[in-house]
Amino acid sequence: MENFGEYVRELRKQNRLTLKEAEKRGVASNAYLSQLERGRRKRPHPDILKRMADVYNVPLNELMIAAGYLAAETQKKSLAERIEDGYHQVENDPRVAHGTRRKGVKLSLEQKRYIVEMYENLTGRKIL
Amino acid sequence: MSVATQPEISNRLKSFCEACASRNHQSPLSEEQLAEAFVKFFSIPPLFDVSGLDKFFATADIEMCRTTLPVGLLGLNMSYEGKRKIRLSDRRGQKRFQLHTALHEIRELIENDFRVLGFSTTESSEDELEFCADEFAFHAVLCSQAGLFRHFFANARAIKSDWRRWAILSLIGLGMVAAGLFAFIGAFYPHVTVTGSKIRFER
């Protein structure tokens, strides 16, 4: 991503947050975010990106790629891999509990996809 | 079933779980006792289909929806920061088990709240909770209908004519058997696989 600052500013605006609101929600200080958005700061630490992902409702992976921590190739994962990753994320989110009633022992890919989509719908976070 | 620590649980379901936890913290509840307490606490009417739970879903603030789920999935529940959702399969062949699936999902939501309160009634293994939830569904259906049958019996006993009384009692008996079968088959349906002429029960 050539201009990471512009990208995060766009994300913040999409979420209708001011710099102060983003600060209040724990992303980083208002001054830091302002500098970052104007390109006066180097890429943020992954911890900040994680908080940003939560508040700006964007997959962490996407932010990591945009900030240059991950290679863009990871984005080219197949749908099946993304579903598996997404399902893993749902399973490991301590704020979410889920259960199913199903025939068969293992969840199929389609069933996992449905769970991930329900998670996205409930939490407002985009995974797939 | 993933184990979660949710920051907040609200509404009547929380009150129910707290009541169960405070009254029974020394001896674990059986699924039958839990189902009985559930039916009583929420004044659940005699259950014959999932619409009997509509009032419960409203008071417990659970968003329930019947929809087309992926093949093999009868239902699922998810909770996040006090929001709870249940989805039930509308597919042919699974629709008639919606009541039991709804009760199964409710039992899993109850377990989530129990865990938040530190009153888990099942081991952490997914299989055990699955089976407990089916057992809960079975008992909840029977418990909800018990009052109705008691009422029928009381009325039948008051009939003076012998043959009429016996005829009515026999009909009630048949009704009870049918209700029992409905509860049993519905609750354990996912564990039964019919392949050709063979029926296999798997836990």
DSSP B48: S
Instruction: Assign A125 to helix, strand or coil.
Output: coil
Q: How far is B199 from chain A (nearest CA, A)?
A: 14
Write the CB contacts of B155 (distance below 8 Å, at least 6 apart in sequence).
Answer: none
Instruction: Using an 8 Å CB-CB cutoff, list chain A residues near B5.
Output: 94
Q: CB–CB of A113 and B70 under 8 A?
A: yes
Structure tokens at B108: 């899993």
Q: CB–CB of A108 and B104 under 8 A?
A: no
B87 in contact with A, Cβ within 8 Å? yes
Smallest CA–CA distance from A88 into chain B, residue: B2
- Per-position pLDDT tens, chain B of length 203: 433 444 444 578 889 998 888 887 777 788 999 999 999 999 999 988 899 999 999 989 899 999 989 988 899 999 998 889 999 998 877 777 899 999 999 999 999 888 888 887 776 566 788 888 999 999 999 999 888 888 888 888 788 888 888 888 888 889 888 888 888 888 777 666 555 555 555 54
A115 in contact with B, Cβ within 8 Å? yes
Instruction: Assign A70 to helix, strand or coil.
Output: coil
**Cβ count within 10 A of residue B94:** 21
User: What are the φ/ψ torsions at residue B168 (nearest 5 degrees)?
Assistant: -65, -45
**What is the pTM assigned to this prediction?**
0.69
Helical segments of A16-108, H only: 19-24, 30-37, 46-56, 60-66, 79-91
ipTM for this prediction: 0.74
Q: What is the pLDDT of residue B194?
A: 52
Which residue from B38, B79, B76, B75 is spatially nearest to B59, judged by alpha carbons?
Answer: B38
A55 in contact with B, Cβ within 8 Å? no
Q: Which of B71, B78, B105 is nearest residue A122 as measured by Cβ atoms? A: B78
Instruction: Assign B3 to helix, strand or coil.
Output: coil
Asked if A128 and A113 count as a contact pair (C-beta separation under 8 A), the reply is yes
Structure tokens at A104: 């068969």
Count of positions (residues) in chain A:
128
Q: Which of residues 96-115 of B touch A (CB under 8 A)?
A: 101, 104-105, 108, 112
Write the CB contacts of A30 (distance below 8 Å, at least 6 apart in sequence).
Answer: A19, A20, A22, A23
Q: How far is B26 from chain A (nearest CA, A)?
A: 26
Q: How far is A10 from chain B (nearest CA, A)?
A: 27
